[in-house]
Structure 1
Amino acid sequence: MKIIELPIEFEFNGQKNHIYPSLIILNDELTLVDTGYTNFLPLIENEILKNGYEVKNLKNIIITHYDDDHIGSLYEFKEKYPWINIIASENESKYISGEMKSERLIQAEEMLKNMPNNEVEFGKWFIQQLKNLKYVSIDEKVHDGDRLLDDKCRIIATPGHTSGHISLYFPSLNSVITGDAAVNEKQELIIANPNFCLDVDNAQQSLRKIKNLNAETYYCYHGGKFSL
C-alpha cells in the first residue's frame, strides 16, 4: 500500500494555485481522495496516468467534506466511471446528495448580507458556484473509527471546517490524509481558513487530534505533503 499526492495546478484570479488530492494504491486498486473543482477530472486523470496508473482501476472515491474544491468533479467521475464506490461521512452525505441545503451555502448567504460593497460581487459568484454543484448519491456512509481498505485506513472524525469533515489515518504507513482539517503553511500544520470554519473551536480540537497521532507524513489538500 502507498499514498501518492496529485499536484493540480490551476489559475484563479490571474494567480497560480495548487491543490493536492491523494491517490491510495492497494493491491492494484486505486482510491482517490477528493476530486477538485468542477471540470478538474481531466487534470486528475492526467496526474494518475503520469504516476503510471490507469483510471480504469479506480475503485473508490473518498470525500473528506462537501466544499466545492473537494466535490466539484465528483459528478463527472461518477458519470464517466459509474462503478466507482463513493464514500463520505454520514453527516456530509446529506449535503453532497442534496438531501439538505449545505451548511456552506447557508453560511455564504448570511455573510453576503454584511459584506462590504467591494466584496459583494465575489460573494454572489461564490454562492452561484455552490448552487451549480451537481448532487451525487453516496454509496458508503462512514463514521468515526470505521475501517476501510482491508482495515488499513481508519476514519477520523475531524469536525470544525464543516460539521461532518473526516480525515484518514493509515497506521501501517504512519500517515494521515487531512482534507481541510489541516493545511501545510510554511511547513507548519494549521487549521484551514478560520473565516470559513463553521466552528473554529472544533477545528482547533480536530487539528490537535490529528497532530496527536504523531504521524510521519501528513497529506494536506492545501499546501501539499508535510513530513516530520
Structure 2
Amino acid sequence: MKIVELPIEYELNGQKERINPSLISVNNELTLVDTGNPNFLPLIESEILKNGYEMKNLRNIIITHYDIDHIGSVYDFKEKYPWITILSSEIEAKYISGKTKSERLVQAEELLQHLPEEEMDFGKWFIQQLNNLKHVPIDKTVHDGDMILDNTCRVIATPGHTSGHISLYFPSLKSVITADAAGKENHALVIVNPHFCLDSENAEKSLAKLKELHAEHYYCYHGGKLSVNS
C-alpha cells in the first residue's frame, strides 16, 4: 500500500499555482483523490504514468469536496474510464451531481455584489467557470468513520471549507490526505484560503481534529506533503 503525490503546476490569473492530488495504491488497484481543474486529465495521467502505474488499474476517484480545482476534470475521467467508481460525502454528492446549486457558486455570486471594480472581471470569470462545470453522478457516498479501500482508509468528516468536506486517514501508514481541511505553510498545518471557508469555526475544529490524529505524514492538496515527528 502506498500514497503518491501528483504535483501539478499551472498558472491562474497571472500567478503560478501548484496542486497535489494524491494517488493511493492498494492491492494493485489505484484510487485518485481529486481531479484538479478542468482539462487537467492529461496532466494527471502523465504524473500517474511517470510513477510507473497503469491507467487500466484506476478503480476509484474520491472527491473530497465541490471546488473547481478538485472536481474540474472528474467528468473527463468518467468519460474516458467509465468503469471508475466515484465517491464523495453525501452532502457534496448533491452539488457534484448538479442536483443542488453548489455552496461555492452561491458564495461567489454573493461576493460579486461587494467586489471592488478592479476585481469584478475575475469574479465574473470565476462564476462562469463554476457554471461551466460538467456534473457527474456519484456512484457511492461515504460517511464519517467509514472504512473504505479494503479497510485501509477511514473517512474523516472535516467540514468548514465546505459543508461536506472529507479527509482520509490511513492508520497503517500513519498518514492523512487532508484535501482543503489543512494546507502546508512554513512547515506547519494551516487553514487553506480562510477567506473562502464557508464556516470558519468548523474549519478550525476540523484542522484540530486532523492534528489530533498525530499522523506522521499529512498530504496537503495545497503545500504538499508535511512529515512530522511522531
Residue matched to 1:192? 192
Q: Take 2:199 and 2:15, find their aligned partners in 1: how far apart are those partners? A: 29
Residue matched to 2:141? 141
Shift of 1:174: 0.2
Residue matched to 1:170? 170
Alignment of 1:109-188 (within 5 A): 109-188=109-188
Shift of 1:13: 2.7
Q: Deviations over 1:132-162 (max 9, x none)?
A: 1000000000110011011110000000000
Partner letter of residue 86 of structure 2? I
CA RMSD of aligned residues (A): 0.6
Residue matched to 2:41? 41
The SS at the match of 1:109 is helix
Shift of 1:56: 1.1
Residue matched to 1:81? 81
Q: Take 1:50 and 1:184, find their aligned partners in 2: how far apart are those partners? A: 24
Shift of 1:17: 1.3
1:4 maps onto 2:15 in alignment: no
Q: Take 1:154 and 1:190, find their aligned partners in 2: how far apart are those partners? A: 22
Residue matched to 1:26? 26
Bigger CA drift: 190-199 or 5-14?
5-14
Partner letter of residue 222 of structure 1? H
Q: Take 2:166 and 2:61, find their aligned partners in 1: how far apart are those partners? A: 13
Shift of 1:188: 1.0
Shift of 1:187: 1.0
The SS at the match of 2:198 is coil
Partner letter of residue 19 of structure 1? I
Shift of 1:194: 1.0
TM-score, L = length of structure 1: 0.99
Partner letter of residue 53 of structure 2? Y
How many pairs were matched up? 228
Q: Take 1:41 and 1:144, find their aligned partners in 2: how far apart are those partners? A: 28
Q: Take 1:14 and 1:121, find their aligned partners in 2: how far apart are those partners? A: 14
TM-score, L = length of structure 2: 0.98
Q: Take 2:194 and 2:28, find their aligned partners in 1: how far apart are those partners? A: 38
Unaligned stretches of 5+ in structure 2? none
Partner letter of residue 185 of structure 1? E
Shift of 1:15: 3.0
Partner letter of residue 220 of structure 1? C
Partner letter of residue 17 of structure 2? N
Partner letter of residue 28 of structure 1? N
1:96 maps onto 2:96 in alignment: yes
Q: Deviations over 1:172-214 (max 9, x none)?
A: 0000000000000121100111110000000000000000000
Partner letter of residue 207 of structure 1? L
Q: Take 2:15 and 2:123, find their aligned partners in 1: how far apart are those partners? A: 19
Q: Take 2:13 and 2:220, find their aligned partners in 1: how far apart are those partners? A: 23
1:216 maps onto 2:216 in alignment: yes
Shift of 1:95: 0.1
Q: What is the aligned-residue identity percentage? A: 72
Q: Take 1:171 and 1:31, find their aligned partners in 2: how far apart are those partners? A: 17
